[in-house]
């Protein structure tokens, strides 16, 4: 899973308050990661689309650096708006996993003219347990390992490095407090009533064995979003772009072509 770690790290740059990866030319895709989502999780997707006619950005979201009272979905969406202004982007395709999908949806509600299309995979925003249940409470490493493995269909994807990263987060008081603040904010900002108003073409790609945001969540997104298409990836958990990158990229690329995006 971490095979793209180095290549992604090499592409990172920091300008002002933004740290991000950027590559390619063409329509802009902004990738929004989740709570436990290292940018490397999207390495294959970043490389595929930046080499095939798109300009791909992955900003590091300030999950653990905003003031506590501003650590919420609303201010993370505001950060995305500031990032787009900073890069001079009038509009973009938003691709979000887990919390990243929720940020994309909240952003779309408030700035619809800036969103050309949405891509949701394992997104929160409807299922209020998604955030809290996916975040292991403090515990020993075996407990954290089990919780990390539950995110994937194939437990081997939860490498030692990934487990170490999660273990560090949940044993750091600052990170824990902010994670809980985001989880509460996600519940508060349930998007069910807003989705029928979102007219953007939306591609929903979901792991059939997603235990964090179960398949019925994808079906609800599909029902509520008026212009959406739903695709399943079998033998796949909560992070399809990481667990099944080739399948994920093919589904999404074919969808872009079919929708002329």
- 124 touches 99 (CB < 8 A): yes
Q: Judge contact between 8 and 211, C-beta under 8 A.
A: no
Is the pLDDT score of 140 beyond 60? yes
What is the four-CA torsion angle of 28, 29, 30, 33, rounded to 10 degrees?
-170
Taking 70 as the threshold, does the pLDDT of residue 125 lie above it?
yes
> pTM of whole model > 0.85?
yes
Per residue in 161-191, pLDDT (tens digit) is: 888 887 887 788 888 888 888 888 888 889 9
Range 103-117 burial, b when 16+ CB lie within 10 A, else e: bbbbbbbeeeebbbb
Q: What is the pLDDT of residues 152-164, one digit of tens each?
A: 888 888 888 888 8
Q: Is 88 exposed, middle or buried (0-12, 13-18, 19+ CB in 10 A)?
A: exposed
At residue 143 the predicted structure's pLDDT band, cuts being 50, 70 and 90, is confident
Longest CA–CA span in the chain (Å) reads 49
Q: How confident is the model at residue 250, as a pLDDT? A: 98
Domains in the chain with CATH codes: 2-259 (3.40.50.1820)
**What is d(CA 207, CA 224) in angstroms, rounded to the nearest whole number?**
19
Give the span between the Cα atoms of 33 and 107, in whole angstroms. 14
Q: In this predicted model, what pLDDT tens digit does every residue of 229-250 receive, in sequence order?
A: 999 999 999 999 999 999 999 9
Helix axis angle for 173-188 and 99-110, nearest 10°, is: 50
What is d(CA 143, CA 52) in angstroms, rounded to the nearest whole number?
41
């Amino acid at each position: 899973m971490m095979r793209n770690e180095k290549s992604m790290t090499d592409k990172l740059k920091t300008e002002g308050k933004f740290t991000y990866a950027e590559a390619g030319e063409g329509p802009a895709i902004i990738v929004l990661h989740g709570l436990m989502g290292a940018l490397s999780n999207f390495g294959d997707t970043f490389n595929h689309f930046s080499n095939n006619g798109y300009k791909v950005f992955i900003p590091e979201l300030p999950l653990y650096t905003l003031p506590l009272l501003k650590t919420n979905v609303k201010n993370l969406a505001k950060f995305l708006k500031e990032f787009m202004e900073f890069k001079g982007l009038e509009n973009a395709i938003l691709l979000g996993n887990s919390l990243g999908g929720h940020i994309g949806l909240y952003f779309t509600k408030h700035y619809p003219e800036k969103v050309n299309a949405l891509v949701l995979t394992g997104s929160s925003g409807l299922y209020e347990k998604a955030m809290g249940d996916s975040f292991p409470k403090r515990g020993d490493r075996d407990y954290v390992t089990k919780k990390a493995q539950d995110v994937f269909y194939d437990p081997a994807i939860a490498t030692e490095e990934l487990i170490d990263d999660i273990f560090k987060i949940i044993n750091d008081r600052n990170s824990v407090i902010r994670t809980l603040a985001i989880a509460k904010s996600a519940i508060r900002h349930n998007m069910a009533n807003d989705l029928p108003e979102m007219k953007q073409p939306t591609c929903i790609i979901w792991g059939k064995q997603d235990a964090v945001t179960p398949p019925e969540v994808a079906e609800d997104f599909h029902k509520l979003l008026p212009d959406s298409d739903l695709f399943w990836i079998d033998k796949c958990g909560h992070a399809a772009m990481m667990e099944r990158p080739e399948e994920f990229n093919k589904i999404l690329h074919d969808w872009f072509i079919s929708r002329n995006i």
